[in-house]
Amino acid sequence: MINAGEQKVSLGNGCHFLGVVVHELLHALGFQHEHSRHDRDDYLIIHWENIDSRNYGAFMKLKPNEARPLTAFDYNSIMLYGEKSFAKQYGLKSMSAKDGRFLEEAYYKPGMSAIDVQRLKMLYQC
């Protein structure tokens, strides 16, 4: 979670999917990417060789003191990129789940996962 003032929400071209809108709104509420958690290497393999170096920042891990995970890792989180997000070539994976499951793109997800909802309730005591 980030404690900051005003939060802008980007809903430009390509943002007409419900999953993208929810993802961006959760950023405005302080959520970080699931694949940026400091413990993500326990759950994901990042395929750096398949990512254009200009997009490395999208896959950098947060330090333990930068964001405290409130729950277990959530493969279904709307805040987790899909397995081909930012791949430098069509068909390549930018990341994969260590347990072999498919990582769906956020824009195909129907909304927040049960754990996303749990985190929101914890953060805002609602």
Catalytic residues: 24
Q: Is 33 labelled as part of a ligand binding site? A: yes
- The response to whether 16 counts as a known ligand-binding position is no
Is 27 marked within a binding site? yes
- Three-state SS string over the chain comes to CCCCCCCCCCCCCCCCCHHHHHHHHHHHCCCCCHHHCCCHHHCEEECHHHECHHHHHHHCCCCCCCCCCCCCCCCCCCCCCCCCCCECCCCCCCEEECCCCCCCCHHHCCCCCHHHHHHHHHHHCC
Annotated binding site: 23, 27, 33
Annotated binding site for Zn(2+): 23, 27, 33
